[in-house]
Amino acid sequence: IREQCSWVHKDPVEATEKAKALVYAAICRVAFHEELENMSVNMCPNSLVIGGGIAGMTAALELADAGNNVHLVEKDNHLGGNLARVDLTAPYLYSARDLLTEKITRIMNHKQVHVYFESKLTELTGFIGNFKAKIQMLNGKPGKTNNPVEVDIGNVIVCTGFKEFDASRIIHYGYGKLPNVITSFELEKMIRAGRIETKEGKIPRYVAIIHCVGSRNQEFHTYCSRVCCMTALKYAHEIKSANPECYISDIYIDMHAFGKGHEDFYRRSSEAKTLFLMYEKEDRPVIHKASPKDDCEMLIEVNEKLSGELIEIPADLVVLMVGMEAREDSREIARIVNISQDKHGWFIESHPKLEPVATTTDGIFIAGTCVAPKDIPDSVAQARAAAARVLARISKGKIEVDALFSEVMDDKCSGCRFCNQLCPYSAIEFDEEKKHSHIISALCKGCGVCVAACPSAAIIGRHFTDQQVLAQVEGLFEV
């Protein structure tokens, strides 16, 4: 009455008459209401965590420390994810190795955590509280069978992480052609080895760091990868620490110092005499090989935004700050666990503000950089939030299912399977023996898509039956 009557009509008399009609129609509908009761299903306390990075390990430990069995599936032969490739973390320069060592040691020694290395999830059936998962080894060892492991679980947390952008896709940066143009992860490898040098084995006098490679670009990815700015400042600090005489140029679009301690870190880098050059996102720097007369390996042309001048920067080593992008196997994972992806391939949460770790499939949660680019604190916080949601459900022992689900009348179902193809929640199964569809009430959200589409009128939407809706419509005409 409020939204469809009083708020939309200016004439009080006509609005009152319409309100009377709406009330009478509702009364006509109520006459055909049936008693509805919520269902409850048992909750299996075991959980599955997909991905052994910082988010996956955090979620697994939160669940295991509460006394629950956790199956942790990792595609590689080691834990740590992309963080295992990092030396120090920005902005406080903590050791990533120390952070991971503590987590990995706890994971491997925890009696409640079962780790599956070089494995992947191949099948997930069932519903919240009662899933069955098949875990397949990627590479079977000679002489051993490679049969999948089947486990019973109640909830799933997906923490599959990200992959780095392929810098060779941006031709004018020369990655793959100019030997001393490297990516941020390749620089990390040098830093971990203890020596920053060119391909010729020389200590670079001029180092240029270019931001937003693959990010904030209409041709590739329009989003910001969030971690690149602070990581670039960290590289400037590490390069200066190793070689105080080195000249560093930091070439950026915008400096995103959004987190705790980030602004102070940026200020310290400015005071360390790093040269900051700003450019427009649609007018990116161009890298050329230097001539023999130049005292450097390369020259970088930058249309500097603040001065409005075309500036040429010398460089012996160019570091491309490659952005984050969704992994190639994200689509397969989304299909198996029945969750959605956005246009960039990131997994979609149920609600970005109110349900940031839940998905549209009950019992499936997401955390970390498989959702969107984020730094370590945000990944850890999201992993703990997902684990907390799972623990809250496990503690109850049962899950209540909303009474507003749909039902198939077996005697009317023709077995056309239209409903199976249309259901957005994969809540409808087809019984091959009986040749008719069946709705899993624990998965059904009562959206009514199948009810409207069924050509045999074999599906009833509880609380929205034909009899109830028609009585309401007829009531409107009687007034």
User: Strand pairing partners for 247?
Assistant: 206
235: nearest Cα among 168, 320, 297, 162: 320
Please report, in angstroms and rounded to a whole number, the separation of the first and last CA atoms in the chain: 16
How far is the C-alpha of 409 from the C-alpha of 436, rounded, in Å? 9
How far is the C-alpha of 368 from the C-alpha of 160, rounded, in Å? 8
303 half-sphere exposure, CB direction, 13 A CA radius:
5
Distance, C-alpha 243 to centroid of its chain: 38
81-82-85 Cα angle (round to 5): 115
Determine contact, residues 209/253, Cβ cutoff 8 Å: no
159: nearest Cα among 77, 65, 78, 82: 82
User: Strand pairing partners for 427?
Assistant: none
Handedness of CA 309, 310, 314, 320 (dihedral sign): positive
81: left (phi over 0), alpha (psi -120 to 50) or beta: left
Distance, C-alpha 75 to centroid of its chain: 17
454-456-462 Cα angle (round to 5): 60
Is 159 exposed, middle or buried (CB count within 10 Å of its CB: 0-12, 13-18, 19+)? Answer: buried
3-state helix/strand/coil string of the chain: CHHHHHCCCCCHHHHHHHHHHHHHHHHHHHCCCCCCCCEEEECCCCEEEECCCHHHHHHHHHHHHCCCCEEEECCCCCCCHHHHHCCEECCCCEEHHHHHHHHHHHHHHCCCEEEECCEEEEEEEEECCEEEEEEEECCCCCCCCCCCEEEEECEEEECCCCEECCHHHCHHHCECCECCEEEHHHHHHHHHHCCCCCCCCCCCCEEEEEEEECCCCCCCCCCCCCCHHHHHHHHHHHHHHHCCCCEEEEEECCCCCCCCCHHHHHHHHHHCCCEEEECCCCCCCEEEECCCCCCCCEEEEEECCCCCCEEEEEECEEEEEECEECCCCHHHHHHHHCCCECCCCCECCCECCCECCECCCCCEEECHHHCCCCCHHHHHHHHHHHHHHHHHHHHHCEEEECCCCEEECCCCCCCCCHHHHHCCCCCEEEECCCCEEEECCCCCCCCCHHHHHCCCCCEEECCCCHHHHHHHHHHHHHC
Neighbouring CB atoms inside 10 A of 412's CB total: 13
Can you give the pLDDT at residue 141?
53
27 half-sphere exposure, CB direction, 13 A CA radius:
10
The two structure tokens encoding residue 220: 């590739």
The two structure tokens encoding residue 15: 């609005």
How far is the C-alpha of 31 from the C-alpha of 103, rounded, in Å? 60
- Domains of the chain in start order, with CATH, are 21-34+463-479 (no CATH), 42-162+326-398 (3.50.50.60), 164-323 (3.50.50.60), 402-462 (3.30.70.20)
Peptide bond into 91 cis (omega under 30): yes
Distance, C-alpha 29 to centroid of its chain: 43
**pLDDT tens, position by position, for the chain (479 residues)?**
899 899 999 999 999 999 999 999 999 999 999 888 888 889 999 999 999 999 999 999 999 999 999 999 999 999 999 999 999 999 999 999 999 999 999 999 999 999 999 999 999 999 999 999 999 998 755 445 578 999 999 999 999 999 999 999 999 999 999 999 999 999 999 999 999 999 999 999 999 999 999 999 999 999 999 999 999 999 999 999 999 999 999 999 999 999 999 999 999 988 888 999 999 988 999 999 999 888 899 999 999 999 999 999 999 999 999 999 999 999 999 999 999 999 999 999 999 999 999 999 999 999 999 999 999 999 999 999 999 999 999 999 998 888 889 999 999 999 999 999 999 888 999 999 999 999 998 889 999 999 999 999 999 999 999 999 999 999 988 87
pTM for this prediction? 0.90
